[in-house]
Amino acid sequence: MTILIKNGQIITASDNYTADILIEGETIKAIGKNMAVQVDHLIDATGMLVFPGGIDPHVHLSMPFMGTFSCDDYTTGTRAALFGGTTTVIDFILQKQGNSLRSAFEEWSGRATGNAIGDYSFHMAVTDFNDSTKAEIKEMIEEGITSFKTFMAYKGALMIDDRQMIGLMDEVKQKGGMVTVHATNGDMIDYLVQKHRSEGKLSPLYHYLSQPEVTEAEASERFTDMTNYTGCPGYIVHLTCEGALNAVRNATRRNQKVFVETCIQYLVLDASLYEQDFDGAKWVMSPPLREKKDQVTLWAGINQGLVQVVGTDHCPFKWEQKLMGKDDFSKIPNGHPAIEHRMELLFSEGVNKAKISMNKYVEVTSTNAAKIFGMFPRKGTIAVDADADILIFDPDAKHTISVNTHHMNTDYSAYEGWEVTGKVKTVLLRGNVVIDDDKCLVDKGYGQFVKRNKVKGFI
């Protein structure tokens, strides 16, 4: 199968030019001006932007969490991702405490294989670091799982202590991986949750008030200190606020590099959403939404190169699931649906409002994640020999986000009524048109596991 994409404005992390892209099989064969070749399928991209397919390195599909499961599975989740221009996701495997990494890997592979529509990879969340876990780190890296997620929060569930953290960092560093972190202080949060509950303060607002900025700033500082001491490559997931980014900024003063991801919600939504009764449960996530001043910090952090990635932390629950916490905010499953909206929202709010350049947009939605997590240059760019994962984007099309039109498996939208300028028109994944004009053209099983390379700790 050969495809020619004609006349699109190609945007990569570094370039912006108009040319044609010739695709043969799964990869890009050539890029050039006015190419005259016979192909099976011609796509006219005149007036369109042509981006590398999006990479969302932070999603939770069918994840067992807080007594339930996130409600997008590999089929619905990766399909919704494709509708939104994201061609590859990295999901989190959760080790069960007392069990092996291998058994968790097998469980997650079983869920994904034959069901994913878009490409996927895994981070391994280490929730129980002991001698046998230590012995499995090398094996996991050989399987292509080169990033190890840790939780400094969710005390009594997923959280590990600093002793485990430092042991894990030592081992991961030696074997060529990276440690990533949910950096908030689990003990402080646990104290505040119990305090609010005992005072009868049970609405979603108290989820927010139980995780003040200091809980994230403190843990981010501790994590950067530990990665600095061990020399292990480190990545902070879903960073939300000024205090936490300042911890990273401070680390740069001792010549340290820590990678930072924020998520689309922290750039465009704020904590005022918790001031409505139980409806605020739609945005109960950890860390919570923050203040306007934090949004300013995050946009600046992207432009300063301190924040390299914008993900979603897609962890969707239906309203019925959110109602588990109707009388107690601490029982509301944490997370919100966003996998489909990241590329369009960031374009509309970031590029269109002149907060970031188009090259920066590509960096943070695709290229940097590919580089940081060992998938570049196969993924994350438009170049000869790269996978033909391509997003053809209409920069002028306007639409309104709604539960009535989204493809995620939730019965509400966290972005209902948002007016967006810029829309996904056509998406190619490994040389096949998978989305065209709001139709998905491939079935479950099309998505493949992406085996990742060892990480370097620089990009």
Q: How far is the CB of 77 from Zn ion (least distance, A)?
A: 13
Q: If binding is defined by CB under 6 A, does position 196 make contact with ligand URP? A: no
Stretch that binds Zn ion, among 18-26, 67-75, 117-125, 177-185 (CB under 5 A): 177-185
Look up residue 281 and give its DSSP letter: G
Task: Work out which of 73, 221, 261, 313 binds Zn ion, going by CB under 5 A.
Answer: 313
Distance CA 284, CA 237 (A): 17
Q: Which one of ligand URP, Zn ion, none interacts with residue 211, CB within 5 to 8 A by kind?
A: none
Across the strands, what pairs with 309?
261
Our CB check for Zn ion shows the closer of 182 and 355 to be 182
C-alpha separations of 354 from 1, 206, 350 in Å? 39, 35, 6
* Contacts of ligand URP in 53-72 (CB under 6 A): 60
> Pattern of binders to Zn ion over 181-220, x per CB under 5 A?
-x--------------------------------------
Residue placing its CB nearer to Zn ion in the complex, 182 or 425? 182
What is the nearest approach in angstroms of ligand URP to the Cβ of residue 69?
12
Residue 313 contacts ligand URP per CB under 6 A: yes
Q: From residue 382 to residue 421, what is the string marking binding to Zn ion with x (rule CB under 5 A)?
A: ----------------------------------------
**91 lies in the binding site for Zn ion (CB under 5 A):** no
Which residues, at least 6 apart from 195, have a Cβ–Cβ distance to it below 8 Å?
none
Note whether 177 binds ligand URP by CB under 6 A.
no
The helix/strand/coil state of 22 is: strand
Residue sitting closest to ligand URP (CB): 334
Closer to Zn ion at the Cβ: 35 or 271?
271
56 binds, among Zn ion, ligand URP, none (CB under 5 to 8 A by kind): none
- Chain centre to alpha carbon of residue 449: 16
Does an H or E element contain 65, and which? Answer: strand 64-65
Size of the site for ligand URP (CB under 6 A): 8
Q: Considering beta carbons, is residue 143 or 313 the nearer one to ligand URP?
A: 313
The pair of structure tokens assigned to 179 is 């440690």
Residue 65 Cβ vs ligand URP, minimum distance, rounded to whole Å: 6
Place of tokens 């601490």: 330
The only residue of 111, 123, 182, 360 in contact with ligand URP, by rule CB under 6 A: 182
Give 432: exposed, middle or buried? Use CB within 10 Å, 0-12, 13-18, 19+.
Answer: middle
456: Cβ contacts below 8 Å, ≥ 6 apart: 233
Q: How far is the CB of 76 from ligand URP (least distance, A)?
A: 17
Rounded to whole angstroms, the Cα distance separating 429 from 123 reads 21
For residue 404, CA distances in Å to 89, 202, 226, 413 come to 24, 31, 46, 9
Which one of ligand URP, Zn ion, none interacts with residue 335, CB within 5 to 8 A by kind?
ligand URP
- Find the shortest distance in angstroms from Cβ 219 to ligand URP: 12
**What binding mask, one character per residue, do residues 233-272 give for ligand URP by CB under 6 A, x or -?**
----------------------------------------
Whole-number Cα distances in Å, 124 to 117, 181, 208, 232, 443:
21, 11, 27, 16, 27
Counting residues that bind Zn ion (by CB under 5 A) gives: 2
Only one of the segments 17-25, 178-186, 216-224, 412-420 lies at the binding site for Zn ion (rule: CB under 5 A); that segment is 178-186
Alpha helices in 131-254 (DSSP H): 131-142, 162-175, 186-198, 205-209, 213-230, 242-252
Q: Residue 457 contacts by C-beta under 8 Å, 6 or more apart in sequence?
A: 178, 233, 257
Assign 3-state DSSP to the chain and report helix, strand, coil percentages, each to 5.
Answer: 35, 25, 40
Q: Output the smallest distance, CB 72 to ligand URP, in A.
A: 12
Q: State the nearest-atom distance from the C-beta of 221 to ligand URP, in Å.
A: 19
Segment interacting with Zn ion (CB under 5 A) among 138-146, 179-187, 259-267, 394-402 = 179-187
Residue 285 contact, options ligand URP, Zn ion, none, Cβ 5-8 Å cut-off depending on partner type: ligand URP
Q: Are the beta carbons of 216 and 128 closer than 8 angstroms?
A: no
**Residue 86 binds: one of Zn ion, ligand URP, none (C-beta under 5 to 8 A by kind):** none
What are 295's two structure tokens? 């949004």
* Region 328-357 residues binding ligand URP, contact defined as CB under 6 A: 334-335
- For residue 298, which of 270, 271, 267 has the smallest C-alpha distance? 267
SS3 state of residue 286? coil
Which of 286, 312, 381, 448: binder of ligand URP (CB under 6 A)?
Answer: 286
Q: Does the protein bind ligand URP through residue 315 (CB under 6 A)?
A: yes
Contact 189, 182 (CB under 8 A): no
CB 115 within 8 A of CB 73: yes
Residues that bind ligand URP (CB under 6 A): 60, 182, 285-286, 313, 315, 334-335
- Which residues bind to Zn ion, rule: CB under 5 A? 182, 313
